[in-house]
Amino acid sequence: MNPLVIDLAKRLLGQNLQLHLQNGIINPPDNYHHQAAWHRDLPYQDWVISKPLAINAFYCLTDFTNTNGATFVLPYSHRSDFFPSEKFVIENELQIIAPKGSVIFFDSMLFHRAGYNTSSDVRIGVNNMFVSPIIKQQINIPQAILEKYHIDELSDEEQLILGFKFQLANNVVEYRKRRTNKS
Ligand SMILES: O=C(O)CCC(=O)C(=O)O
């Protein structure tokens, strides 16, 4: 809910957006990391779009250094509908060196990967992916939240970000009732 992050996400995605997923990154020394291959976070998509549909806010909980496997990105690759040549990758890949507490913000279609950790320390981060609500959540976050919280404990803004406002109607009547209430 960091207001700077939410504000930036809204500038890019519009006022209606939801959290698609959160994943923790634990990159231990001298270990293959399963995110070490180039990928987009809207996975397996070989198209591009003129405006972002999804944005990552990747919180660095430790320093991200050139020895502990800091994230590599391929600049501008979110604008390419195919994976670039090996030559392009070698010449353009960029490692994001960032101190603990930084947030790396990028279009989720940008090709990126974890680096190999040759240091003696674990690299840790939390990735938050925000999407236009036409993209569904990876898990049903509202349902998971309601196992612990009552909806009244959440502000309107929290309900929006967590996806409460974009749940599927269970049937046509429910859908029409929602539309009527809106108007
Ligand atoms: O470990 C990293 O720096 C990359 C993480 C990643 O690719 C992801 O969470 O999608």
Choose among 40, 24, 32: nearest CA to 115. 32
Burial class (CB in 10 A: 0-12, 13-18, 19+), 150: exposed
- Work out the pLDDT band at 181, boundaries 50, 70, 90: confident
Closest C-alpha to ligand 1, atom 1? 114
Task: Fill in the DSSP letter of residue 165.
Answer: G
Which residues, in sequence order, are CB contacts of 56 under 8 Å at separation 6+? 41, 104, 105, 106, 107, 108, 127, 128, 129, 130
Can you tell me the distance from the alpha carbon of 29 to that of 35, in angstroms, rounded to the nearest whole number?
Answer: 14
* Atom of ligand 1 at shortest range from CA of 123: 1
Q: Is the CB of 27 under 6 A from ligand 1?
A: yes
| pLDDT tens sequence across 68-81 | 999 999 999 999 99
Q: Is 50 helix (H, G, I), strand (E, B) or coil?
A: coil
| pLDDT tens sequence across 2-39 | 999 999 999 999 999 999 999 999 999 998 777 899 99
pLDDT for 31 equals 86
| pLDDT tens sequence across 104-120 | 999 999 999 999 999 99
Q: Is the CB of 117 under 6 A from ligand 1?
A: no
Question: Which CATH number does 3-138 carry?
Answer: 2.60.120.620
Distances (CA, A) of 169 to 11, 158, 164, 177, 178: 28, 20, 12, 10, 8
Q: Is the CB of 62 under 6 A from ligand 1?
A: no
pLDDT for 182 equals 79
HSE-CB of 103 using CA atoms within 13 angstroms: 16
- Work out the pLDDT band at 87, boundaries 50, 70, 90: very high
pLDDT for 34 equals 77
CA of 164 to the centre of ligand 1 (A): 26
Can you tell me the distance from the alpha carbon of 126 to that of 25, in angstroms, rounded to the nearest whole number?
Answer: 6
Report the run of H or E that residue 150 belongs to, with start and end: none
Q: What is the pTM of this model?
A: 0.93
- Work out the pLDDT band at 169, boundaries 50, 70, 90: very high
pLDDT at 158 over 90: yes
Q: What average pLDDT does the structure give for the chain? A: 95
pLDDT at 153 over 90: yes
* Atom of ligand 1 at shortest range from CA of 33: 1
Place of tokens 């990159």: 27
